[in-house]
Amino acid sequence: MSESSALYDIPGPAARRRHTAYGALATAVILALLGWILYLLFDTGQFTYTKWMPFAYQGIQELLLRGLGNTLRAFATAAVLSLALGGLLATGRLSEHRPVRLLATVVVEFFRAMPVLVMIFFVFVALKVHPLPALVAGLTLYNGSVLAEVFRSGVNSVERGQREAAFALGMRKTQVMTYVLVPQAVRAMLPAIISQLVVALKDTSLGYLITYEEFLHAGKLIASNLDYDLPFIPVVMVISPIYIGMCMSLSWFAGWVARRERHSPRSGAAEAAPAEPGTLLP
């Protein structure tokens, strides 16, 4: 462990003993915390039959699955559209024409500075469209702008020699881009792109706030029902593993691609982007 940071020396026997003691103490505290939460859950009656019984019914399961389907539909549409918009805006930002570059920059910077939710509400309330298009439009504008920056930095991260060599061979700018720079950039930026899609997936839950009938909305409908004893906690316990699971598998996929790219000789000319979603904004 100490290989990773400058903080600690390699522990000697005394330090190791001390660490074991701390470890035992910390484990005890954490277990006590978990136990306390579990106790609270039982104490407030979160595991009663009435609260969990609804999940056994097919109608409820279908309601949840329909919600999940709607979430995934919004995600898929938004993902495809933001990739397209990202490509377009990146082209604009890399353009040689100054006005085009300026316009693309303004668009990208504006939409990156605005909260996604404000855009979703704006499209929904002011432009008066249905919830799904409003959600998709908001997500596309935001993620498209972020992806444009990812693409651009990908293209810029390809070694200068590649571009120079291509120009020296007599290629035009478009050719240099499509045959030389973009393929390498996309390869190197793939992990960052996938990580940004995780953000898009997470943000589909904003649809709940404009009454798009997605996964969380289905959960709310079950949770706020007096007939089922208001199973808020059970609903959270059912829904969140699925949400977190989906996002984590996608994050993991991004990490896997990153590890592969780092060892692949084909992406040697550009530094593979780190797949850590932490480097991206929440």
Partner 1 sequence: MIRTTRVPVLRVPVPRASVPGAPVRRVRAALALLAALVTGVGAGFGLVGCGRAGSPPRKGPAADRLPVYQVAQGFRLPASPTWTRAKKRGYFVVGAKEDQPYLGERDPATGVYSGFDIEIARMMSASLGLAPKTIRFRTIASANRETALQNGQIDYYVGTYTINDNRKKLVGFAGPYYLAGQSLLVRRDETDIHGPRDLAGKRVCSAAGSTPYQRIRAEYPKAVLIAYDTYSVCVDNLLTYQVDAVTTDDAILIGYAAKAPGELKVVGRPFSREPYGIGVPRGDTALRFAMDDALEARERNGDWKKAYEATLGLSGVPAPKPPPIDRYPAS
Partner 2 sequence: MNVLTDNFHTYAEGFLGTLELTVYSSVLALVLGFLMASFRVAPVGSLRIFGTAWVTVLRNTPLTLLFFAVLLGLPRFGLVLPFKVFAVLALGCYTSAFVCEALRSGINTVPRGQGEAARSLGMTFGQTLQLVILPQAFRSVIPPVGSTLIALAKNSAIAGAFSVTELLGTYRTLSELGYNIVWTFVWIAVGYLIITLAISALFHLMERAWGVAR
Whose CA is closest to 136, among 71, 63, 57, 198?
A: 71
Binding status of residue 132 toward partner 2 by CB under 8 A:
no
Does position 68 interact with partner 2 (CB under 8 A)? The reply is no
Of 239 and 269, nearer to partner 2 (C-beta) is 239
Q: Is 220 a binder of partner 2 (CB under 8 A)?
A: yes
Q: What minimum distance in Å lies between the beta carbon of 97 and partner 2?
A: 27
Of 52, 121, 167, 253, the residue at the interface with partner 2 (CB under 8 A) is 121
Gap between the Cα atoms of 63 and 70, Å rounded: 11
d(CA 104, CA 152): 12
DSSP state of 139: H
What does DSSP assign to residue 274? P
CB of 44 to partner 2, least distance (A): 6
Using rule CB under 8 A, residue 72 touches partner 2 = no
For residues 12 and 278, which CB has a smaller minimum distance to partner 1 in the complex? Answer: 278
Residues near 27 by beta carbon (within 8 Å), at least 6 away in sequence: none
User: Rule CB under 8 A: which residues touch partner 1?
Assistant: 1, 3-4, 53-54, 56-65, 68, 124-125, 128-130, 159-161, 210-211, 213, 218, 221-222, 224-230, 238, 241-242, 244-246, 248-249, 252, 265, 268-269, 271, 274, 276, 278-279
Q: What's CA 162's distance to the chain center, in Å?
A: 31
Segment 8-27, which members bind partner 2 (CB under 8 A)?
8-9, 11, 15, 19, 22-23, 26-27
Q: Which helix or strand (DSSP H or E) is residue 78 part of?
A: helix 58-93
Selection from partner 1, partner 2, none that 116 binds (CB < 5 to 8 A by kind) is partner 2
Distance from C-alpha of 265 to C-alpha of 275, rounded to nearest angstrom: 18
Task: State the virtual CA torsion across 100, 104, 110, 111 in degrees, nearest 10.
Answer: 150
Q: Is 208 in the site for partner 2 (CB under 8 A)?
A: yes
19: how many CB neighbours lie within 10 A of its CB? 13
Q: Distance between CA atoms of 123 and 117, rounded to whole angstroms?
A: 10
Smallest separation, CB 179 to partner 2 (Å): 34
Q: What is the CA radius of gyration of the chain?
A: 24
Contact flag: residue 230 with partner 2 (CB under 8 A): yes
Report which of 39, 47, 36 is spatially closest to residue 233, judged by C-alpha positions: 47
Amino acid occupying residue 275? A
Chosen from partner 1, partner 2, none, partner binding at 211 (C-beta under 5 to 8 Å by type)? partner 1
Binding site for partner 2 (CB under 8 A): 1-9, 11, 15, 19, 22-23, 26-27, 30, 40, 44, 46, 113-118, 121-122, 125-126, 198, 201-206, 208-209, 216, 219-220, 223-224, 230, 232-233, 236, 239-240, 243-244, 247-248, 251, 276-279, 281-282
